[in-house]
Amino acid sequence: MIVQRVVLNSRPGKNGNPVAENFRVEEVNLPDNINEGQVQVRTLYLSVDPYMRCRMNEDTGSDYISPWQLSQVVDGGGIGIIEESKHTNFTKGDFVTSFCWPWQTKVILDGNILEKVDPQLVDGHLSYFLGAIGMPGLTSLIGIQEKGHITAESNQTMVVSGAAGACGSLAGQIGHLMGCSRVVGICGTPEKCLLLTSELGFDAAINYKEGSVAEQLRELCPSGVDVYFDNVGGDISDTVISQMNQNSHIILCGQISQYNKDVPYPPPLPSAVEAIRKERNITRERFLVLNFKDKFEPGILQLSQWFKEGKLKIKETMINGLENMGAAFQSMMTGGNIGKQIVCISEETSLLSL
């Protein structure tokens, strides 16, 4: 059987901006037979995420992420349906997910890398398992639980950068759900600002491309900042940290402004900002959600419950077609998405009645 796949065509260079042309689509032959322990799956949805930028380098700079190889199939988070199974845990028609899903229309996988998902948890929206009811949701929830130190009814103010993205759009809502009295988002367009305040429950939003972020923060956070959910790093974060209170907390989720630069992770703060951080005893610890696997199952159930109760609004930007994976990645890295960036490879019509 002939299937399509996406391979890494070229590397952007450690300090370069990724472009769609770094990827290419090619056809490949899928074997007719599968071996014991394997399954054949049809890909439904694929995820593109900021962390993938370091996988485009020869060295990811990380011990838990491996680099993509030139002319080899690219992989990441994916959801699919089993078409044939020789693995005891799976039968035809099961919906499954993996972090190591090849960017391919159909693929033969070792069943041990797959996890079954229950469509009822997402009311049939399977793509949500790659977003709010998946890794970005867990990153936001567990990050806030472990590093945010939020106490209900203690009048805390949270600021979220990259607030209209996959994690940021959830983090602000979760901040409120866990007890923050005020949540302010920072993003890059008037449309995103409006979405945050009109649909996602943020108390205010700042467009960092218009006016002084420092002045707007002072106005919108008159009591200072107690919790900062940091998705971006760089100048925006330096500005927020400068207005943080004594004994406040930074949740270090991502540093997308630094991902196209050859710097360590997390990037060191400028000396003046680091001096403020130390003087005010602001915590800024590296956070890796994979270190909290024991919290994944209860976390997914909590996120699902909030979603079903209407307390967690989910936004995603959907692009169709495997041939658009590179364009989707480029768009996500430059802020073209609202909520989670997803690519639909094929749809599953049996769930539309859920």
CATH 3.90.180.10 in the chain is located at 2-131+315-350
Quick one: 318 exposed, middle or buried, by C-beta within 10 A (0-12, 13-18, 19+)?
Answer: middle
Average pLDDT score over residue span 83-111: 98
In whole angstroms, give the CA distance from residue 26 to residue 322.
Answer: 10
| Position 256 pLDDT exceeds 80 | no
Residues 6+ apart with CB under 8 A from 246: 280, 281
Q: pLDDT value at position 267?
A: 82
Q: pLDDT value at position 64?
A: 82
- 350 band by pLDDT with thresholds 50, 70 and 90: low
For residue range 195-236, list pLDDT tens digits in order: 999 999 999 999 999 999 999 999 999 999 999 999 999 999
Q: pLDDT value at position 61?
A: 82
Q: pLDDT value at position 318?
A: 97
- What angle in degrees, to the nearest 10, is found between the helix axes of 234-241 and 213-220? 40
Question: In 10 A of CB 151, how many CB atoms?
Answer: 12
Specify the long-range contacts of residues 287-296, CB closer than 8 Å, at least 24 apart. 287/143, 287/146, 287/147, 287/251, 287/252, 287/253, 288/64, 289/135, 289/138, 289/139, 289/142, 289/143, 290/64, 292/138, 292/142, 292/146, 295/138, 295/142, 295/145, 296/138
Portion of the chain with pLDDT greater than 90, in percent: 87
Q: pLDDT value at position 270?
A: 96
What does the angle CA 58 – CA 77 – CA 92 come to, to the nearest 5 degrees? 135
Residue carrying the six token digits 């890295």: 333
Q: pLDDT value at position 63?
A: 80
| Position 118 pLDDT exceeds 60 | yes
Q: Please state the CATH superfamily assignment of the domain spanning residues 135-290 in this structure.
A: NAD(P)-binding Rossmann-like Domain (3.40.50.720)
- 81 band by pLDDT with thresholds 50, 70 and 90: very high
Q: What are phi and psi of 68, to 5 degrees?
A: -70, 145
For residue range 284-334, list pLDDT tens digits in order: 988 888 899 999 999 999 999 999 999 999 999 999 999 999 999 999 999
> What is the fold of 2-131+315-350?
Quinone Oxidoreductase; Chain A, domain 1 (3.90.180)
Quick one: 295 exposed, middle or buried, by C-beta within 10 A (0-12, 13-18, 19+)?
Answer: middle
Average pLDDT score over residue span 146-152: 95
| Position 353 pLDDT exceeds 60 | no
In whole angstroms, give the CA distance from residue 105 to residue 73.
Answer: 12
Average pLDDT score over residue span 237-259: 87
Mean pLDDT of the chain: 94
What is the separation of C-alpha 40 from the centre of its chain, rounded to a whole number of angstroms?
27
Q: What are phi and psi of 81, to 5 degrees?
A: -125, 135
CATH 3.40.50.720 in the chain is located at 135-290
User: Which candidate, 342, 334, 20, places its Cα nearest to that of 188?
Assistant: 334
Alpha helices in the chain, H assignment, sequence order: 52-55, 135-147, 168-177, 190-198, 213-220, 234-241, 271-279, 296-308, 325-333
pTM (global) more than 0.85: yes
What is the separation of C-alpha 166 from the centre of its chain, rounded to a whole number of angstroms?
5
| Position 147 pLDDT exceeds 90 | yes
For residue range 163-182, list pLDDT tens digits in order: 999 999 999 999 999 999 99
